[in-house]
Chains A and B, each alone.
Chain A
């Protein structure tokens, strides 16, 4: 459950105003909130590593609600999502086609259709291990033991392929024989004889009549590839052997919190829930958020007392959690 941003903002203002220490504008608050959420989110990983040593030394308290390692891992749930990756046909690699930013990749499941259909746990390796493991005949990957490595590249997702059966002579339209998918308006068109930068202006899925953005002269039987907008610097996962589909338990970067507002008749800021974005952190982080935001607010309003007090408070919370 997320932390309500208005609760945090009003609490912060209340604490600051109580001693007439100053005022933090919504713009400043939004920037600080983003920074604090990132800090708390990033702290989960070294904390998890540290807390896991209790597991390794067999000293973990595993009573129902007091296993600190599990508690720390639980806080990541709002950012975890099983995500289907799309196949980039030319490179036979998989890429993330969504809008969010992948922070880390967890368990990778490769699905191989057949008898039986296998959903195999995929071992993520470095590129060099990938090459080494692949070359050993005893460990070379199979559909039961696939391996994967990550890289990143620009991807041009192919939405459709097809051919033009008849000659097109200086015309912007043609009948398309679809091989795969369906061309979309705005898709980039490539193929022998196609002018650079040609896009799809219109496509009639009943008659298969395609309208190009410019006139074309094409030979009969020419193959066309339709691709959507290039994804810059996408996460690329290469799996061997290439599965039919790939699903990765991804950890996404938190969405930036926004305290949305309207301006009232007196020029005051009033909260607008519809334009706001709550903190994605778990509700148990509300205190941490407020303390850390106060710390930055103290810096902004140049009050070392607030900074010191907030820092001491935050340190105490952290020490308490990890001891």
Chain B
């Protein structure tokens, strides 16, 4: 593969795959500077391993006299504009390696540059940053002789961020996931950047995903639980606010025996089953909905979840206690900074979104022009969705091979 020569790739193969870049000291002066060119910015908490902030570093610095045996450089240095600046003089001919932290610890010194900086950069070529989109848009679509003669950059930033949010909800592959265990409270806290869930699954002993279904109308986590007096009136505290109790609905749901809903019958819950029947839910099988037969929608053993908006948690049915689950959710792509990324497959759709958003909110734009760009945006967004839906002919063929199997 060629070395970077002015194309969009700016890292060498060594920088990308190994996360390392080498230099050689040509003088023995103090204050020598070596500029790195990684796609990832250097993060330097401290050059001194004894300092707490040393662990914030996303790289390690190694030196060697012969280019074979490397040791970590633990004397003072700084990093400015992604350049390493040695405070003291280093001998002429010293080999210097900047190793970004990797899961395997890198290939130099004690191979203990352990972290995720290298892996986080893998695959980055398939994305473009929001920052680049804004700059490209200003170059390509704004200026004299163009449809948008002038435009405030802050307007572009606003629309690109709104676009990022909207695209994230239904177009981009920005599904995030967390692996969690269900605690005794039967509820897990929503992720910090949570916008909506995509799917929640429990993971069985084979590592297979079993989809957990929403409880929907089976139960609810009420938003308010006012304490009532004997007349049913809510009671208030000294400050005039309603007194709140704990949710009895949630308590009952937590203690519910799911098999009484799902129809699963086993020896473990035999006694509970008979007790349940005596509670007036029926005689015989006595399951929920029994009078009209079992409800197929709830006849499953994977469990249920429901959103507890009051506490910002996801609550689970009691049969999922201690189970491993994976929460897949979508965010809006803006949780952290402008380095948020857009897949290149959707880059043109983002430009079309910007054009339409800016022209449609500008007074005096002919309606025909607005409609033109509305259709342009719609078409490009549809293209982006098709591209990102990752439909591959071979995969469809593989699925279709199962069409002749009889499902009994």
> Per-residue CB proximity of B65-108 to A under 8 Å, as 1/0?
00000000000000111100000000000000000000000000
Pairwise interchain contact B154-A147, C-beta atoms closer than 8 A: yes
Interface hits, A92-127 → B, CB 8 Å? 113-117, 121, 123, 125
B192 to chain A, nearest CB (A): 16
Judged by a CB distance under 8 angstroms, whether A17 is at the interface is no
Pairwise interchain contact B41-A115, C-beta atoms closer than 8 A: yes
Judged by a CB distance under 8 angstroms, whether B283 is at the interface is no
A194 to chain B, nearest CB (A): 37
Closest to A134 in B: B154
B3 to chain A, nearest CB (A): 21
B314 to chain A, nearest CB (A): 26
Please pick, from B44, B82, B158, B338, the residue contacting A142 in the complex, using a CB distance under 8 A: B338
Pairwise interchain contact A138-B149, C-beta atoms closer than 8 A: no
Judged by a CB distance under 8 angstroms, whether B251 is at the interface is no
Pairwise interchain contact A136-B81, C-beta atoms closer than 8 A: no
Within 8 Å CB of A139, what residues of B? 154, 157-158, 161
Within 8 Å CB of A147, what residues of B? 154
Question: Which of the 9-residue segments A51-59, A160-168, A245-253 touches chain B?
Answer: A51-59
Interface hits, B336-351 → A, CB 8 Å? 337-338
Please pick, from A113, A116, A138, the residue contacting B157 in the complex, using a CB distance under 8 A: A138
Pairwise interchain contact B338-A123, C-beta atoms closer than 8 A: no
Within 8 Å CB of A125, what residues of B? 152, 154
Within 8 Å CB of B79, what residues of A? 115
Judged by a CB distance under 8 angstroms, whether A44 is at the interface is no
Within 8 Å CB of B81, what residues of A? 113-117
Judged by a CB distance under 8 angstroms, whether A314 is at the interface is no
Judged by a CB distance under 8 angstroms, whether A77 is at the interface is no
A60, B81: Cα distance in complex, Å: 42
Judged by a CB distance under 8 angstroms, whether A175 is at the interface is no
Interface hits, A114-161 → B, CB 8 Å? 114-117, 121, 123, 125, 129, 133, 136, 138-139, 142, 144-145, 147
Question: A residues bordering B, Cβ < 8 Å?
Answer: 52, 55-56, 58, 60, 113-117, 121, 123, 125, 129, 133, 136, 138-139, 142, 144-145, 147
> Per-residue CB proximity of B209-226 to A under 8 Å, as 1/0?
000000000000000000
Pairwise interchain contact B161-A144, C-beta atoms closer than 8 A: no
Number of residue pairs across A and B with beta carbons under 8 Å? 54
A72 to chain B, nearest CB (A): 13
Closest to A58 in B: B145
A139, B134: Cα distance in complex, Å: 13
A8 to chain B, nearest CB (A): 34
Within 8 Å CB of A114, what residues of B? 80-81
Pairwise interchain contact B338-A56, C-beta atoms closer than 8 A: no
Within 8 Å CB of A136, what residues of B? 158
Given A114-B81, A115-B82: A138 in contact with B145 (beta carbons within 8 A) = no
Pairwise interchain contact B41-A116, C-beta atoms closer than 8 A: yes
- Describe B's contact surface by its main secondary structure: loop
Judged by a CB distance under 8 angstroms, whether B43 is at the interface is yes
Count chain B CB atoms within 10 A of each CB in A113, A117, A145 and give the residue with the most.
Answer: A145
Closest to A145 in B: B157
Count chain B CB atoms within 10 A of each CB in A114, A117, A121 and give the residue with the most.
Answer: A114
Pairwise interchain contact B144-A52, C-beta atoms closer than 8 A: yes
Judged by a CB distance under 8 angstroms, whether B313 is at the interface is no
Count chain B CB atoms within 10 A of each CB in A52, A113, A144 and give the residue with the most.
Answer: A144
A152 to chain B, nearest CB (A): 23
Judged by a CB distance under 8 angstroms, whether B162 is at the interface is yes
Pairwise interchain contact A133-B154, C-beta atoms closer than 8 A: yes
Pairwise interchain contact A138-B158, C-beta atoms closer than 8 A: yes
A138, B154: Cα distance in complex, Å: 9
Not counting A116-B81, A129-B152, a sample of 18 additional A-B residue pairs whose C-beta atoms are within 8 angstroms of each other reads: A55-B144, A113-B80, A114-B80, A115-B42, A115-B82, A116-B41, A116-B82, A117-B80, A121-B153, A123-B154, A125-B152, A125-B154, A138-B157, A139-B154, A139-B161, A144-B338, A145-B338, A147-B154
> Per-residue CB proximity of B139-159 to A under 8 Å, as 1/0?
000001100010011100110
Count chain A CB atoms within 10 A of each CB in B80, B134, B153, B337 and give the residue with the most.
Answer: B153
Question: B residues bordering A, Cβ < 8 Å?
Answer: 41-44, 79-82, 131, 134, 144-145, 149, 152-154, 157-158, 161-162, 334, 337-338
Closest to B143 in A: A55
A113, B145: Cα distance in complex, Å: 36
17 contacts between A and B (CB under 8 A): A56-B144, A60-B145, A115-B42, A115-B79, A115-B80, A115-B81, A116-B81, A117-B81, A125-B152, A125-B154, A129-B154, A139-B154, A142-B338, A144-B131, A145-B134, A145-B157, A145-B338
Within 8 Å CB of A116, what residues of B? 41, 81-82
Pairwise interchain contact A138-B152, C-beta atoms closer than 8 A: no
Closest to B146 in A: A56
A60, B162: Cα distance in complex, Å: 36
Within 8 Å CB of A52, what residues of B? 144
A124 to chain B, nearest CB (A): 10
A136, B153: Cα distance in complex, Å: 14
Closest to A141 in B: B154
A40 to chain B, nearest CB (A): 24
A200, B334: Cα distance in complex, Å: 53
Pairwise interchain contact A138-B144, C-beta atoms closer than 8 A: no
A197, B233: Cα distance in complex, Å: 73
Within 8 Å CB of B80, what residues of A? 113-115, 117
A219, B276: Cα distance in complex, Å: 85
Within 8 Å CB of B161, what residues of A? 138-139
Within 8 Å CB of B43, what residues of A? 115
Closest to B134 in A: A145
A121, B162: Cα distance in complex, Å: 22
Pairwise interchain contact A123-B152, C-beta atoms closer than 8 A: yes
A123, B157: Cα distance in complex, Å: 12
Pairwise interchain contact B44-A115, C-beta atoms closer than 8 A: yes
